[in-house]
Every structure is written in C-alpha cells, then in structure tokens.
Amino acid sequence: MKKIINSPWAPKAVGPYSQAVMSGNTLYISGQIPVDASIGKVVEGGITEQTHQVLKNIGHVLAEAGLSYKNVLKCTCLLDNMDNFAAMNEVYALYFPENPPARAAYGVVRLPLGVMVEIECVAKV
C-alpha cells in the first residue's frame, strides 16, 4: 500500500505526480526543483542558490514523512549544464556530510521552468 506525502513547505507538483510516495519503509521523492514555496517562484541566483533550494525542498518532504537527510539512500541529480557539477557538488556535500547516499548525476538538455538543477531521491525508514 502506498501513502502520498506532501509538504506545504515544498513546491506543489507542476504536473500529475506527488511530491513523494511512501511504500512500506521506503520513501520515493519526486524530482525537486529550486522553487521557493513561500513565494511560488524559482529562487534568484545561480547554481549554488538553486542547489540549496532544491535540497531544502527535499528536507521539507523528508520531514513531512518523519525522516531526515540521514535516511536518504540514493539521489539522482539532473543538471542543465555539467559545467555546474563542481558547484552543485559543493552544496550537496553540506547536506550529506557523513555516509552520503549513492548518487548519479546527468547532464540534460532542459529542465522544468528553465531551472539549472533537479534532484530526486529515495529514502528508507
């Protein structure tokens, strides 16, 4: 059985999907983009600011499920430009300082709303 998880502090889905789905002890968090839910807009700035916002949004969804960054097992990072990989990585490391999750990172042609980064993840209770 699955349970839908939505946080009012993370941006609403921009399509027919849920912010996250809990199935058993596993939480699947949909790709989060750098929209600040309090203003409903993409945060200003570059890859550093956008990566922080994406990871904050993930944190809000994790908290809504009663979890934290320590519960994350795997992340997939999508970048609109692989030249931003190092800067994204620096911010990412701040949120996963010990025993970081498994991860893949891909360069893509375009992301929703023209953002620079999107990250999805899987966490376990």
pTM: 0.96
Gap between the Cα atoms of 31 and 41, Å rounded: 16
What is residue 97's predicted lDDT score, i.e. its pLDDT? 96
Q: Hey, where are the domains in the chain?
A: 2-124
Per-residue pLDDT, 1: 85
Q: Would you give per-residue pLDDT tens digits along the chain (125 residues)? A: 899 999 999 998 878 999 999 999 999 999 999 999 999 999 999 999 999 999 999 999 999 999 999 999 999 999 999 999 999 999 999 999 999 999 999 999 999 999 999 999 999 99
Separation CA 36–CA 123 (nearest Å): 22
The pLDDT, as a whole number, for residue 50 is 98
**Helix count and strand count (H, E) for the chain:** 2, 8
Q: Which CATH number fits domain 2-124: 3.40.1030.10, 3.30.530.20, 2.60.40.420, 3.30.1330.40?
A: 3.30.1330.40
Note the pLDDT of residue 92.
Answer: 98
Q: What is the pLDDT of residue 13?
A: 86
